[in-house]
Chain A
Amino acid sequence: MKKLILALTMAASFAVAGAAHAQEKLKVGFIYIGPPGDFGWTYQHDQGRKELEKALGDKVETTFLENVPEGADAERSIERLARAGNKLIFTTSFGYMDATVKVAQKFPDVKFEHATGYKTADNVAVYNSRFYEGRYVQGVIAAKLSKTGVAGYIGSFPIPEVVQGINSFMLGAQSVNPDFKIKVIWANSWFDPAKEADAAKALVDQGVDIITQHTDSTAPMQVAAERKIKAFGQASDMIKFGPETQLTSIVDNWGPYYIERAKAVLDGSWKTHNVFEGMHEGLVVMAPYTNMPDDVKKLAEETQAKITSGELKPFTGPIKKQDGSEWLKAGETADDKTILGMNFYVAGVDDKLPQ
């Protein structure tokens, strides 16, 4: 009888322990600016989420809210995820910054991770990617291949993340052809395929023969394919939309970071930080170099290798600002603070930066 009771209590305690263990499953939430099917920015974050689920299996449970507009809606959505018991929440667009910080104050035991911003708190970490490193390589390729010497650049919003890209692209191009020009069109939207297509058409009509974009749909790639010019993909490998068009693409590889951070929460070692990682850490990956002669491919690979090893930093002087004033002296490199707050063009960009 005693044995039976002992067995029962043991079984019961195991059951309780089991239940407690099940409760410890870490709930991880994601807020997306677009649909996971945009095949660009949000798609890559969602790939990262899937990698996280795969890597940690039943230790984590993930949810996401898609198409969340930046602004008041963002705050409500983030709060919804926090209330639903998510202990780690990734907010994946620049415009979620203030909303993230605000909700974080209300939920001190929830860890927040905001992508591409700059405001941190005890429970708000910031992670950002040095996309501009990839843009530099693109600039080198563009200047090598362009016959007209003009590339078209479709921007979303004039925020530092996008301005860094334009400047880095320009510097890369100037390293090959000092007279290289770029034309910039702001779509004032992250995701409007038809408008992005119109912008691409306008650029081609004005004589650019290479297009790069910092908006999230594949529409510009399709227009480039149709008009038989070359283009760079954005955020994910868009080769399917331009098999004879895509030169390369900057692929955002978020998975490893998401796994690392979820593990940190699970073992209690999570701390706030502000990281800014690029090719060296594997956050920025280049899609295969295609549709270009071997010598250009070789140069691109060399440039990529130099950036990865840290030998080449895109923002290294001498660099002049657009208005002709000096930004960096010869040999001087820009610090991360200046890069993260970049709100000016370097010399040679043929556009007035909207303020």
Chain B
Amino acid sequence: MTMFEAILLTIATAATPLLIAALGELVVERSGVLNLGVEGMMVMGAVAGFAIAQTTGSAWLGMIAAILAGAAFSLLFGFLTLTLVTNQVATGLALTLLGLGASAMIGESFVGLPGVKMEALNIPVLTDLPYVGKFLFGQDPIFYISILLTIGVVWFLFKTRAGLTLRAVGDNHTSAHSLGVPVVRIRYLAVLFGGACAGLAGGQLSLVYVPQWVENMTAGRGWIALALVVFASWRPWRILAGAYLFGAVSIGQLHAQALGIGIPSQFMSSLPYLATIIVLVLISRNKRLTLMNTPTSLGKPFVPDR
């Protein structure tokens, strides 16, 4: 395995959870709902995935549990914001805090146990191809799922009728409602999808990235996923690019350090965040681009009979 290939693989592992969680949140926001609880749903996915994989010995069952846990947790958010019409920002923040606390409690007995790691693909001949073999044919299944998910979300949002309806709900829920579109039901489904994605991203963390459970192991990755959605100005392909850019900068700075390049490590560690801020500033300068893609009803409450 060449160094180039090795770095590429590490970047993919670092980018995958960000990509999956951000894709889920993108669909949620496209439907007009702002769920700031990504970090909380992610960490719930991580603990559920680890716990089930540890008890059953199957990483796949763990991954399914992670998805279900994320979705179930998002249902709580859906019930509060869509049925009881609470403030979405406050509810999302509460979801994150609750998730961090609850996962620590649930996971207490799983701390310090080596986990079950999801095995990487190994296809004879193809995996051994020089330079790209490992990257294209030798990664863990979640990597391929993340790429398929990107394609799926693009296809769904922009090529299907259901995707068009979802975007219409996000842009103007009153008009959509007057046309007989079930706004609340669509938003529930979007929130559930977002939760499932966040859960899967959490499962990737505790079953692929670092096969262990420790409190707060998401370490802010849910927030980065949220930033990526804005960074990508609500376009799925740009999320893919953003996640890999973020991954590349964070891994690149570690390699630069190991090579002994004399740049202060504190500066290097802040590079990924600096890059995100710069791109966000550049995007928000372009008014037309932002307006074109921002779901107009984002974060606004909707009560059907109004």
Query: Which of A's residues lie within 8 Å of B, judged by CB?
Result: 35, 37-39, 43, 67, 152, 158, 183-189, 191-195, 197-199, 201-206, 217-219, 222, 226, 240-241, 350-352, 354-355
Q: Given the complex, which residues of A lie within 8 Å of B255, measured CB to CB?
A: 202, 205-206
The answer for the CA separation of A188 and B273 in the assembled complex, in Å, is 14
**Known pairs A35-B214, A39-B111, A194-B14; A185 contacts B6 (CB<8 A):** no
Interchain nearest-CB distance for B174 vs A (Å)? 43
Interchain nearest-CB distance for A118 vs B (Å)? 22
The answer for the CA separation of A199 and B255 in the assembled complex, in Å, is 8
Q: Identify the stretch in B66-74, B84-92, B263-271 within 8 Å (CB) of chain A at 4 or more residues.
A: B263-271
B282 at interface by CB-CB < 8 Å: no
The answer for the CA separation of A191 and B262 in the assembled complex, in Å, is 24
Q: Name the residue in B112, B215, B254, B269 with the highest tally of chain A Cβ atoms < 10 Å from its Cβ.
A: B254
B214 adjacent to A188 (CB under 8 Å): no
Q: Given the complex, which residues of B lie within 8 Å of A205, measured CB to CB?
A: 3, 6-7, 10, 255
B193-237 Cβ-contact flags toward A at 8 Å (1 or 0): 000000000000100011110111101010000000000000000
B114 at interface by CB-CB < 8 Å: yes
Q: Given the complex, which residues of B lie within 8 Å of A67, measured CB to CB?
A: 215-216
Q: Given the complex, which residues of B lie within 8 Å of A202, measured CB to CB?
A: 7, 10, 251, 254-255, 257-258
Count of A-B residue pairs with CB < 8 Å: 110
Q: Name the residue in A199, A203, A354 with the highest tally of chain B Cβ atoms < 10 Å from its Cβ.
A: A354
Q: Given the complex, which residues of A lie within 8 Å of B128, measured CB to CB?
A: none
Contact partner of B217 (CB less than 8 A), chosen from A194, A199, A240, is A194
Interchain nearest-CB distance for A344 vs B (Å)? 15
B104 at interface by CB-CB < 8 Å: yes
Q: Given the complex, which residues of B lie within 8 Å of A352, measured CB to CB?
A: 260, 262
Q: Given the complex, which residues of A lie within 8 Å of B114, measured CB to CB?
A: 222, 240-241
**Known pairs A185-B254, A193-B210; A37 contacts B266 (CB<8 A):** no
The answer for the CA separation of A337 and B153 in the assembled complex, in Å, is 61
Given A35-B214, A194-B210, 5 more pairs with CB closer than 8 A: A186-B269, A194-B217, A198-B254, A201-B6, A240-B114
Give 16 CB contacts A-B under 8 Å: A35-B214, A37-B112, A184-B260, A185-B254, A186-B266, A193-B214, A194-B217, A194-B219, A202-B251, A204-B6, A205-B7, A205-B10, A206-B259, A218-B112, A352-B260, A354-B265
The answer for the CA separation of A354 and B269 in the assembled complex, in Å, is 12
The secondary-structure label for the interface of chain B is: helix
The answer for the CA separation of A184 and B215 in the assembled complex, in Å, is 26
B260 adjacent to A37 (CB under 8 Å): no
Q: Given the complex, which residues of B lie within 8 Å of A189, measured CB to CB?
A: 219
Interchain nearest-CB distance for A244 vs B (Å)? 12
A198 adjacent to B212 (CB under 8 Å): no
B212 adjacent to A218 (CB under 8 Å): yes
Which A-B residue pairs are the 5 nearest by beta carbons?
Answer: A37-B111, A186-B265, A205-B6, A35-B215, A202-B254
Contact partner of A354 (CB less than 8 A), chosen from B14, B212, B214, B266, is B266
B212 adjacent to A219 (CB under 8 Å): yes
**Known pairs A183-B260, A185-B258; A201 contacts B221 (CB<8 A):** no
B54 at interface by CB-CB < 8 Å: no
**Known pairs A202-B254, A354-B264; A192 contacts B219 (CB<8 A):** yes
Interchain nearest-CB distance for B8 vs A (Å)? 10
Query: Which of B's residues lie within 8 Å of A, judged by CB?
Result: 3, 6-7, 10, 14, 104, 107-108, 111-114, 117, 205, 209-212, 214-217, 219, 221, 250-251, 254-255, 257-260, 262, 264-266, 269
Q: Given the complex, which residues of B lie within 8 Å of A188, measured CB to CB?
A: 265-266, 269
Q: Name the residue in A152, A186, A193, A241 with the highest tally of chain B Cβ atoms < 10 Å from its Cβ.
A: A193
Q: Given the complex, which residues of A lie within 8 Å of B112, measured CB to CB?
A: 37, 39, 43, 218, 240
Q: Given the complex, which residues of A lie within 8 Å of B209, measured CB to CB?
A: 194, 197
* Residue in B closest to A186 when the chains form the complex, CB atoms: B265
Q: Given the complex, which residues of A lie within 8 Å of B3, measured CB to CB?
A: 205-206
Q: Given the complex, which residues of B lie within 8 Å of A37, measured CB to CB?
A: 107-108, 111-112, 214-215
The answer for the CA separation of A354 and B10 in the assembled complex, in Å, is 25
Interchain nearest-CB distance for A262 vs B (Å)? 26
* Residue in A closest to B218 when the chains form the complex, CB atoms: A194
**Known pairs A183-B258, A194-B205; A38 contacts B214 (CB<8 A):** yes
Interchain nearest-CB distance for B4 vs A (Å)? 10
Q: Name the residue in B10, B107, B108 with the highest tally of chain A Cβ atoms < 10 Å from its Cβ.
A: B10
A219 adjacent to B210 (CB under 8 Å): yes
Interchain nearest-CB distance for B219 vs A (Å)? 5
B219 adjacent to A195 (CB under 8 Å): yes
Q: Given the complex, which residues of A lie within 8 Å of B262, measured CB to CB?
A: 352
B215 adjacent to A152 (CB under 8 Å): no
Q: Given the complex, which residues of A lie within 8 Å of B216, measured CB to CB?
A: 35, 67
Interchain nearest-CB distance for A189 vs B (Å)? 8
Q: Given the complex, which residues of B lie within 8 Å of A193, measured CB to CB?
A: 210, 212, 214, 217, 219
B14 adjacent to A217 (CB under 8 Å): no
The answer for the CA separation of A182 and B56 in the assembled complex, in Å, is 41
Q: Given the complex, which residues of A lie within 8 Å of B111, measured CB to CB?
A: 35, 37, 39
B258 adjacent to A241 (CB under 8 Å): no
Interchain nearest-CB distance for A190 vs B (Å)? 11
The answer for the CA separation of A320 and B82 in the assembled complex, in Å, is 67
* Residue in A closest to B5 when the chains form the complex, CB atoms: A205
Q: Given the complex, which residues of B lie within 8 Å of A222, measured CB to CB?
A: 114, 210-212
The answer for the CA separation of A197 and B117 in the assembled complex, in Å, is 14
The answer for the CA separation of A202 and B258 in the assembled complex, in Å, is 7
* Residue in A closest to B7 when the chains form the complex, CB atoms: A205
Q: Given the complex, which residues of B lie within 8 Å of A195, measured CB to CB?
A: 219, 250
* Residue in B closest to A34 when the chains form the complex, CB atoms: B215
The answer for the CA separation of A152 and B10 in the assembled complex, in Å, is 17
Contact partner of B212 (CB less than 8 A), chosen from A35, A186, A187, A241, is A241
* Residue in B closest to A207 when the chains form the complex, CB atoms: B3
The answer for the CA separation of A152 and B260 in the assembled complex, in Å, is 12
The answer for the CA separation of A195 and B298 in the assembled complex, in Å, is 33
